[in-house]
Amino acid sequence: MYRQHTRTSPGLRAWLGLLVILGPVLLVSMDGSILFLAMPRISQALTPTAGQALWILDVYGFAVGSLLIAFGNLGDRYGRLRLLMTGAAVFGAGSTAAAFAPSAELLIAARALMGVAGATLLPSALAVLSELFADPRRRAQAIGVFAAAFAAGFAAGPIVGGVLLERFWWGSVFLVNLPVLALFLVFAPILLREVRATRAGRVDVPSVVTSAAGLLLAIYALKHAAAEGLSAVPVVAGAAGAGLLAWFVRRQRGLAQPLIDFSLFRDRVFTVAIVTGLLPLAAWSATAYLSGVYLQSVLGLPVLDAALLALPGAVVLTVTCVVTPFVVDRVGRRAALAVCHFSVAAGLLLLLPTAVMGGAGWYVASTVVAGVGYGISFSVVADTAVGAVPPERAGAAGALAETSNEIGNALGIALLGSLAALVFRLRGPDLAPTLDETLQLPALVPAAAAQAEAAFVAGLHVAAAVAGVLHVVLGVVALLRARVRDAPRPVGP
């Protein structure tokens, strides 16, 4: 039996419960990036088209991001621990199906199932964590550990994938999830308590459906246009997606309990912080995926060497995420947000000197410099979102924080990846839609191979430059719009 602890001492059971929760958190975030180095192997085994390759990468993030807020509300209503257990079991089933998928279509379906399960895990895990630590100071420390684990999972995904691929086949990057999930299913009922909101609201099903469908249609249109050019199909799909998203936003404003409370965005710092959760993840996911292909398919590095090159940036990202809350207390949130965007911009621009004949050193420098901004992004977003709502809405608040990360992760591959694919299509030899498919052609002449590699590097440069410019703009916006929060406010009557 554990003895009763005071509010200032959460006790051994709370810390062990935090440790158990971190397992699924690491897996959900890691699976958003673990395929970045695995895609060349998957392309060789399953021969996906250019569009299918992007869907394999980002359908997981879209499924997680589209359903996080809905499952946050469901956890508040029906029990967060119950949802955690169910999600862990489904995540394991999806991981097994992905590992043995015989075709690109089935791998996309399995990744989508994993995303649905991942959406049940993150908001409920953060809400259960908040219940474990009643003292606000201890809770803040636990949330910092949670955010660091989430960041570490994203950063470690390519490294873990590279190590596994050095010894095993590509499906091993999914089977690594199973031991962690098994331990969670055994110990979670022992260490964690069931938590429900005292006044849980219903989930608006039309909002869930329209938000997910609108996102998928809009992204499908962009991918199709980038890979194959404009035609009636992407135009119609894009218009339908935009219409559904506009209807979703309008509906939220009329609901008593919306999926997204857009009134929160009236706070300038909150708005900048949520954007800070979205755009850096978009830049990171796109450049990490494109850089993984660049290191292996252009520079010809073995997968393990490519994974080790990502290690310095991953360490910087994780350490920055841990120390950011202490730094923010001293320099202020406005300065932290500005440093986030400017450091990401500087890191992205360091990718521009990379070339067909060399650039591994520039890649390492880029990940180290940008890692500072990525770490700040993870930490600031989690702290802002959870602190903005009362405890009984912790599930929905955690969902909003993680939604910005997951949607950013998926959007980066979808938008910036599609932009790079467009550049490759326009500047490449026009023999195949992707670099790997082009290099695998049996009668490929050296000149065509060199042209394909140069076109891919040009696409990487364009994606990095566009994301870098956007971060410079947001850094300036952070300095201007977040100034109100750092200045002392007048005391009213």
**Is 222 within 8 Å of 234 (Cβ atoms)?**
yes
Dig out the tokens for 45 from the structure: 């085994």
Q: Are residues 198 and 210 in the same domain?
A: no
**What is the identity of the amino acid at 213?**
A
3-state SS string for 371-383: HHHHHHHHHHHHH
> Does 402 fall in a domain?
yes
φ and ψ of 426, to 5 deg: -80, -35
Q: Are residues 68 and 124 in the same domain?
A: yes
Which of 231, 258, 285 represents a domain boundary (last residue)?
A: 258
Q: What is the pLDDT of residues 55-114, one digit of tens each?
A: 888 788 777 777 776 776 676 666 777 888 888 899 999 999 999 999 989 999 999 999
> Does 112 fall in a domain?
yes
227 CB burial (10 A radius; 0-12, 13-18, 19+)? buried
Q: Are residues 199 and 68 in the same domain?
A: yes
Q: Are residues 222 and 247 in the same domain?
A: yes
> Does 1 fall in a domain?
no
Dig out the tokens for 85 from the structure: 């257990």
Look up tokens 């508040």; give the residue: 76
Output the CA torsion 237→241→243→245 (10° steps).
Answer: 180
What letter would DSSP give residue 412? I
What is the predicted pLDDT for the residue at 196? 60
> Does 491 fall in a domain?
no
> Does 5 fall in a domain?
no
Q: Are residues 89 and 181 in the same domain?
A: yes
What is the predicted pLDDT for the residue at 461? 94
**Is 288 within 8 Å of 353 (Cβ atoms)?**
no
Burial 287-304 (b: 16+ CB within 10 A, else e): bbbbbbbbbbbbbebebb
Dig out the tokens for 116 from the structure: 């649905």
Q: Are residues 469 and 386 in the same domain?
A: yes
Q: Are residues 178 and 323 in the same domain?
A: yes
- The CA-CA-CA angle for residues 160, 212, 232, to 5°, reads 105
**Is 460 within 8 Å of 291 (Cβ atoms)?**
yes
Domain tally, the chain: 2
Here the CATH number for the domain that contains residue 482 is: 1.20.1250.20
DSSP-H helix ranges across 133-256: 136-167, 172-175, 177-191, 205-228, 232-252
Positive or negative torsion for Cα 435, 439, 442, 444? positive
Three-class secondary structure of residue 239 per DSSP: helix
Q: Are residues 121 and 138 in the same domain?
A: yes
Query: Assign residue 201 a region: left if phi > 0, alpha if psi is -120 to 50, beta otherwise?
Result: beta
DSSP-H helix ranges across 393-445: 394-411, 417-427, 435-439
**Is 438 within 8 Å of 431 (Cβ atoms)?**
yes
> Does 43 fall in a domain?
yes
Q: What is the pLDDT of residues 454-493, one digit of tens each?
A: 999 999 999 999 999 999 998 888 777 655 444 333 333 3
φ and ψ of 358, to 5 deg: 170, 155
> Does 291 fall in a domain?
yes
Domain boundaries, position 251: 204-258
Q: Are residues 392 and 420 in the same domain?
A: yes
Three-class secondary structure of residue 358 per DSSP: strand
> Does 383 fall in a domain?
yes
φ and ψ of 5, to 5 deg: -110, 160
What is the predicted pLDDT for the residue at 324? 81
Q: What is the pTM of this model?
A: 0.75
Q: Are residues 213 and 286 in the same domain?
A: no
d(C-alpha 317, C-alpha 128), whole Å? 26
Q: Are residues 343 and 388 in the same domain?
A: yes
Q: Are residues 250 and 185 in the same domain?
A: no
pLDDT-flagged residues of the chain (< 70): 1-10, 69, 72-73, 75-78, 123, 136, 140, 144, 194-203, 226-229, 264, 266-270, 382-402, 406, 481-493
